[in-house]
Amino acid sequence: MSYVVTKTKAINGKYHRFLGRHSPRFYILYTIFMKGLQMLWADAKKARRIKTNMWKHNIKFHQLPYREMEHLRQFRQDVTKCLFPGIISIPPFANYLVFLLMYLFPRQLLIRHFWTPKQQTDFLDIYHAFRKQSHPEIISYLEKVIPLISDAGLRWRLTDLCTKIQRGTHPAIHDILALRECFSNHPLGMNQLQALHVKALSRAMLLTSYLPPPLLRHRLKTHTTVIHQLDKALAKLGIGQLTAQEVKSACYLRGLNSTHIGEDRCRTWLGEWLQISCSLKEAELSLLLHNVVLLSTNYLGTRR
């Protein structure tokens, strides 16, 4: 048996060297694909282990440690993205078409495990550009509802906040938290948001906006609740315990394009986010959702 394993490894090594010499471009793609499969398989095994432990000990998602919560969230997202290529590859010989499509459209059809380092940076920039397009629209919706706010002090605070953001100023934490009452009920509570406002927020969260408003609202609620639960777990763990990559990933999930920002600055921003998030109740999660725009738009000149 050991002879077979040794022989297989030797043949595999020769094949890799052959590809490297004669088809270097294909060899790079082949290597990335094989490593991607290994990482995806490892993710699946870890997710299964976490789910098994949850079932055995009757643990809910929000009771998990931060890294396990984040792993499950990311794995679910990856599996969802893999569904479309998986479905269209079911008919006979359709898998060849799928491979071609994945080669031509890696951003749309492949998960991060199968991206080159350059693609990871480029694609994250593209996705962030998509969500940035909705930021001015969301600010304009906030301005439109200002007359509907009954409290004069809150009207002034929201007007001041929108003006600061439009002028390129990064808002202070207390400026945002002072508005929590506005976002807990009419007109900016999660259930009171207008359909177009909900669509814009969906785009800001990189969620599809091509669904009926009730479904969009439900997805936003679910997505924001998960982030809020992650924030509580992260606050318990401590930002200082995260690696540089974990910090950047956490910031990107919450609306900041962290690919071009230093680690220390990302940690500072994430600390601001957690201060706001951990101060909010479930009824005020609409403010956390809008915080994706409010807190990220002008951070360190990230506004373009």
The model's pTM? 0.88
Q: Which helix (H) or strand (E) holds 197?
A: helix 195-204
Q: Residues 280-293: pLDDT tens digits?
A: 999 999 999 999 99
Q: Give Cα separations from 170 to 188, 240, 248, 273, 295 (angstroms).
A: 21, 24, 19, 13, 7
pLDDT score at 253: 97
Average predicted confidence (pLDDT) for the chain: 89
Q: Is the pLDDT of residue 214 over 90?
A: yes
Q: Is the pLDDT of residue 23 over 80?
A: no
Handedness of CA 257, 260, 262, 265 (dihedral sign): negative
User: Which structure tokens are listed for 259?
Assistant: 């690919």
Mean pLDDT within 134-141: 96
Q: For residue 57, what pLDDT is reported?
A: 94
**230: three-class secondary structure by DSSP:** helix
pLDDT digit string, tens, across residues 264-277: 999 999 999 999 99
Q: Are 179 and 287 in contact (CB under 8 A)?
A: yes
Picking from 277, 296, 292, the residue whose alpha carbon sits closest to that of residue 204 is 292
- Is residue 304 predicted with pLDDT exceeding 60? no
Which phi and psi (to 5°) does residue 5 adopt? -65, -45
The confidence band for 95, taking pLDDT boundaries of 50, 70 and 90, is low
Distance from C-alpha of 191 to C-alpha of 39, rounded to nearest angstrom: 39
